[in-house]
Chains A and B, each alone.
Chain A
Amino acid sequence: MLTVFIRGVFLYVLVIFSVRLMGKRQLGELTPSELVITILISNIATLAMEDVSVPLLTGTVPILTLVSLDVAAGYLSLRSRRFRHLISGRPKIVISDGRIDQKTLRELRYTVDDLMSALRSQQIFDISEVQYAVVETTGAVSAYLKPENRPLTPSSAASPEEASDPPQVIISDGDYILSAGVRLNLNEKDVLKELKRKHLEIGEVFLCTVDAGGSFRIIKKENAKEER
């Protein structure tokens, strides 16, 4: 009995340490890889706690291995967009210009009921109020309302907005995002031309968004000169 108790205390400390090591993301909504790791850790910890014939080290090693690999994967995801998409998937646009993309919904195996339920959880009960919606890599739906359904702000009161999709990220951490270019009818040359006009190389750009009207918003990397 005391052995199980001591193993329990040790594994509690280990799992707390592991979750802290994985960082704050683990405490919010989980991406697929984080969900898998959380489930595996809880299973391994339970087995190691209950079965005293299994050495504690045999339970500790896989937990630490999984956590270390998760942190390493997180680091690689930060460095490589391709790796990030491989591990966590991509956000998918399910409503654009107020129209539901049924093909994407089918690809995501997302039913209309799932979509409606996700919108209702954001206090949106009429799908026609939605201008743009994205299924995030965590499975949560982010919705952008049509201008007439958005809460009034000083800027929208001063100049009423037109119904258009929100700005798209076209350069992320120095990488050109082809799919965003296609959506905005922009090719890489147009984007490079705009960057050249502002005396910037693509590698110097941390974030570049383009709205439906074609205006660019560029944030340079911190080691580059200044924000334009």
Chain B
Amino acid sequence: MKRLVLCIVIIAAIVAAGVWSCEEVLIKNRKLYGFIREVEADFSQGMPAEESISALENYFEEDYRPALAVFINDEKLYEMSEAVSRLRPMYESGCDEFSAECAALEARADSIYRGELPGVGRIF
């Protein structure tokens, strides 16, 4: 009986951790989208975006990536890290794909969130 209780506790903890991880990704993503939109707004209005890019880089490397690395595959986060590090040189060179790169970064963050949700398509 003790074993059964322990197993029920483990299953409950796993379900709780699963719900928490979805919530954690959602919160972190919302914050990341905020930083990305700030960068995009500065860029589209022709304002200097160095500061907002730095804020985005700092947030991603110091908060977003370490927090999500506990339960998200490293390769996905590495791809996002590459996208974040591409933003500054693209901005400095005036690359016209800057906005597209920002959108791609958002899409990657969104795919991480969708990956955490137990959708029918992902289960089967």
Contact = CB atoms under 8 A, between A and B. Distances in A.
Given A21-B3, A71-B4, A71-B7, A55 B14 contact: no
B11 interface: yes
B64 to A, nearest CB: 15
Contacts of A57: 17, 70-71
B7 A72 contact: yes
Contact of A72 (B4, B14, B69, B75): B4
- The DSSP consensus for interface residues of chain A is helix
A23 interface: yes
Interface of B: 3-4, 6-8, 10-11, 14, 17, 69-75
A130 interface: no
Contact of A58 (B3, B7, B71): B71
Nearest to A57: B71
Given A21-B7, A64-B10, A65-B11, A53 B73 contact: yes
A59 to B, nearest CB: 11
Interface of A: 21, 23, 52-55, 57-58, 61, 64-65, 67-69, 71-72, 75
A98 B115 CA distance: 60
B73 A21 contact: no
Contact of B74 (A53, A64, A65): A53
Given A64-B10, A68-B10, A68-B11, A58 B73 contact: yes
Given A53-B73, A53-B74, A71-B4, 12 more contacts: A21-B3, A23-B3, A58-B71, A61-B17, A64-B10, A64-B14, A65-B11, A67-B7, A68-B7, A69-B11, A71-B7, A72-B11
Contacts of B7: 21, 67-69, 71-72
A142 to B, nearest CB: 28
